[in-house]
Amino acid sequence: MSSITSYDRLEDLGRVRLSRNFFMREFLYSEIAAWHGLRNVPDNPERAIEAGRMLCQQLLEPLQATFGRIHVRSGYRSPEVNKFGNENKLNCASNEKNFGRHIWDYPDERGRYGAMACIVIPWLVDYIEKGGSWTAMAWWIHDHLPYSSLYFFPRQGAFNIGWHELPERRIDSYSAPKGCLTRQGMENHQGSHRGEYPEFPQLVSISSEKHVPPANLVADPRPGVESRSSPTKHSVSTQKTLSFSPQTGGAINYRAIHTRNLWRKVGNHTSLEKAILGKDGAVGLFARKVRIDYAKHGDPLYVLVWEGGADKGFVIRPDSNSPEGIRVASVPMHDIQDFESRGQASQRALDKYFGA
C-alpha cells in the first residue's frame, strides 16, 4: 500500500485485516486527533500493517480468545499526534520513546520495529472489582505470550501491551504496586508463575485463525538498511555438534509435519535444545523413538521449533549423513506465523530453507 494521499486510500487502509478479529481502522482512532483536528495516519503504511499484524496475531488474538472481547483505547499514533500528546501532557511519551511502540511505522533507536496498543479487557475489570490484582494478568501474559512490554494503569485495569522484534520482556505499572514488576535479570523473571493467577482460564489456541497474508513492504529509505521485502538468506546448520541457546526465554513452540497429520502440536518442551535434540524432540521423532502413533500420524517429514518472542525459529528434517541425524535451517518469524495461521506448511515451502 502506497502513502495515504486521499480519503479513498485512508478508507482502504482502515479495511486492512490485521488478524482474524482485528482491522486497522480501530487502531487509527485517536481522541487527541479527533478533538484537536490532527491527522493520525502512518507515513509508511506497509510498515505499520506488518507490525500491527504481529501485535494482533501474537498477542491480542490469544487474549481475546481466552478472556473475551478486548477494547482498544489507543493503538497507532502518528508522530504528529504523539508529539502533540506529549507536549500537552496527554499521557503520551516522547516520539523517541514511542518509535517501535505506539508509532508503528518508525523503528526505535536500534532500527527495530514494534507495535503497541493500550487495551481494556472487561474480564479483567470484573476481576479487579472483585478484589483481584492487575499483577495476576501480568504474570499470566508473561507465562503464555511473546510480549515485549506491559505497562498497567490505575483505571479499569487498562494496560499497554507491545510486540517488538527484540522483545524486552518487561512489566511496569502506575497502579499499585507501582514500579517494575519484572524484567530480564530479576530473580522472579524465569520459571512458571502459575500460583499468581490460580483463577485464570487456560490459554485458548487460535490455530484455526483465518490466514492473513503478510504486507508487501516497500524498501527502507534509510541508507544501509535492507528492505524487508528483499529475499531472506536462511542459514543451514552444517555443524558436527549442534547446540541451541535460549533466545528470549519465551515459551517453546513445536510443530511436527507428518504425511498424514500436517500440523501436529506438542506443548511440553521446555527448551530449544530439548525440542530439537531431545529424546522426545525432533531427533527422537525422526528416529521413531517418540511415543506416538506413527501409523495414525504418518511418517515424520519436518519439525518447526521456535521460542516465543524470537525473530526467527528453526525447521528440522532428517539427514542420515549428519551425526545427529538431522539438518537444521533458520526460518523468519513472519514465515512461521504464516504457517501457523494456515495450520500447515508444504514440503515445497520448507525445502526452500535448505536451498532446495
Supply the mean pLDDT for the chain. 85
The DSSP bridge partners found for residue 315 are 304, 329
Of 76-80, 202-206, 274-278, the poorest mean pLDDT is in 202-206
For residue 296, the SS3 value is helix
Q: Is the pLDDT of residue 198 over 50?
A: yes
The pLDDT > 70 percentage for the chain reads: 88
pLDDT tens readout for residues 31-62: 898 899 998 899 888 899 999 999 999 999 99
Average pLDDT over residues 207-233: 37
Domain carrying residue 37: 7-186
**What grid cell was written down for 41?**
495516519
Q: So what's the pLDDT on residue 356?
A: 63
Average pLDDT over residues 133-155: 95
Any domain includes 207: no
CB-based contact 168:183 (threshold 8 Å)? yes
Q: Using the 3D structure, point to which of 168, 186, 204 is the last residue of a domain.
A: 186
Q: So what's the pLDDT on residue 346?
A: 86
Q: So what's the pLDDT on residue 245?
A: 76
167, 3, 224, 356 alpha-carbon torsion, rounded to 10°: 70
The set of residues, in sequence order, having a beta carbon less than 8 Å from that of 145 and lying 6+ positions away, is 58, 59, 62, 63, 308
Q: Is the pLDDT of residue 239 over 90?
A: no
CB-based contact 109:122 (threshold 8 Å)? no
Q: So what's the pLDDT on residue 329?
A: 93
Q: Using the 3D structure, point to which of 159, 186, 213 is the last residue of a domain.
A: 186
CB-based contact 78:41 (threshold 8 Å)? yes
The DSSP bridge partners found for residue 258 are 300
Q: So what's the pLDDT on residue 227?
A: 35
Q: pLDDT-derived band of residue 206, with 50, 70 and 90 as boundaries?
A: low
Q: So what's the pLDDT on residue 272?
A: 92
Predicted TM-score of the model (pTM)? 0.59
d(CA 261, CA 256) in angstroms, rounded, equals 8
Q: Using the 3D structure, point to which of 139, 169, 186 is the last residue of a domain.
A: 186
- Cell numbers 484455526 label which residue? 208
Q: Is the pLDDT of residue 331 over 90?
A: yes
Q: So what's the pLDDT on residue 355?
A: 80
Any domain includes 238: no
CB-based contact 162:148 (threshold 8 Å)? yes
Q: pLDDT-derived band of residue 21, with 50, 70 and 90 as boundaries?
A: very high
Among residues 162, 334, 167, 163, the alpha carbon closest in space to that of 248 is found at: 167
Any domain includes 193: no
Beta strand 264-266 pairing with 170-173:
unpaired
Do 159 and 264 share a structural domain? Answer: no
Q: Give the chain's length.
A: 356
CB environment 213-228: b (16+ within 10 A), e (fewer): ebbebbebeeeeeeeb
Count of structural domains within the chain? 2
Do 152 and 262 share a structural domain? Answer: no
For residue 102, the SS3 value is coil
Q: So what's the pLDDT on residue 231?
A: 35
Average pLDDT over residues 191-196: 92
Average pLDDT over residues 294-314: 91
Q: So what's the pLDDT on residue 134?
A: 97
Any domain includes 295: yes
State the Cα angle at 156 between 172 and 22, rounded to 5°: 85
Q: Which of 4-8, 217-221, 226-230, 251-255 has the highest mean pLDDT?
A: 251-255
Do 273 and 130 share a structural domain? Answer: no
**Burial label, 275 (beta-carbon count in 10 A; 0-12, 13-18, 19+):** buried
Q: So what's the pLDDT on residue 298?
A: 85
Q: So what's the pLDDT on residue 336?
A: 94
The DSSP bridge partners found for residue 166 are none
Q: pLDDT-derived band of residue 1, with 50, 70 and 90 as boundaries?
A: low
pLDDT tens readout for residues 162-183: 999 889 999 999 999 999 999 9
Do 263 and 178 share a structural domain? Answer: no
